[in-house]
Amino acid sequence: MTAELKGKVGLVAGGTSGIGRETAVLFAGAGAKVVVAGRREKEGQDTVELILAGGGDGLFVKTDVSKASEVDALVQKTVEKFGRLDVAFNNAGIEGLWVPIARQSEEDFDRTINTNLKGVWLCLKYEIRQMLRQGGGGAIVNTASIYGLIGSAGAAAYSASKCGVIGLTKVAALENARSGIRVNSVCPAAIETPMADRLFGAPKVHEHAVRSHPIGRLGTPREVAEAVVWMCSDQASFMTGQSLVLDGGFLAGPSPPS
Cβ neighbours of residue 8 closer than 8 Å, sequence gap 6 or more? 31, 32, 33, 86, 87
User: How do strand 181-188 and strand 138-143 relate by DSSP bridges?
Assistant: parallel
Question: Is pLDDT above 80 for 112?
Answer: yes
Q: Which residue has the higher pLDDT, 71 or 190?
A: 71
Spatial distance between the Cα atoms of 185 and 178, rounded to a whole number of angstroms = 19
Question: Is pLDDT above 70 for 77?
Answer: yes
Q: What is the mean pLDDT of residues 211-237?
A: 93
Spatial distance between the Cα atoms of 23 and 213, rounded to a whole number of angstroms = 23
Please report which confidence band the pLDDT of residue 254 belongs to, taking 50, 70 and 90 as the band edges: confident
Q: Rounded to an integer, what is the distance from CA 231 to the centroid of its chain?
A: 12
Q: What are phi and psi of 243, to 5 degrees?
A: -120, 110
| Model-wide pTM > 0.75 | yes
Helix (H, G, I), strand (E, B) or coil at 246: strand
Spatial distance between the Cα atoms of 147 and 159, rounded to a whole number of angstroms = 5
Q: What are phi and psi of 35, to 5 degrees?
A: -105, 125
Spatial distance between the Cα atoms of 158 and 170, rounded to a whole number of angstroms = 19
* 126 counts as catalytic: no
What is the percent of the chain with per-residue pLDDT over 70, rounded to a whole number?
93
Is 38 within 8 Å of 14 (Cβ atoms)? Answer: yes
Question: Is pLDDT above 70 for 6?
Answer: yes
pLDDT of residue 211: 76
Is 242 within 8 Å of 42 (Cβ atoms)? Answer: no
Which candidate in 60, 147, 158, 250 is catalytic? 158
Question: How does DSSP classify residue 116?
Answer: I
Superfamily of domain 9-191+221-247: NAD(P)-binding Rossmann-like Domain (3.40.50.720)
Q: What average pLDDT does the structure give for the chain?
A: 93
Spatial distance between the Cα atoms of 235 and 2, rounded to a whole number of angstroms = 9
pLDDT per position as a tens digit, 19-42:
999 999 999 999 999 999 999 999
Partnered with residue 33 across adjacent β-strands are: 9
Domains of the chain, residue spans = 9-191+221-247
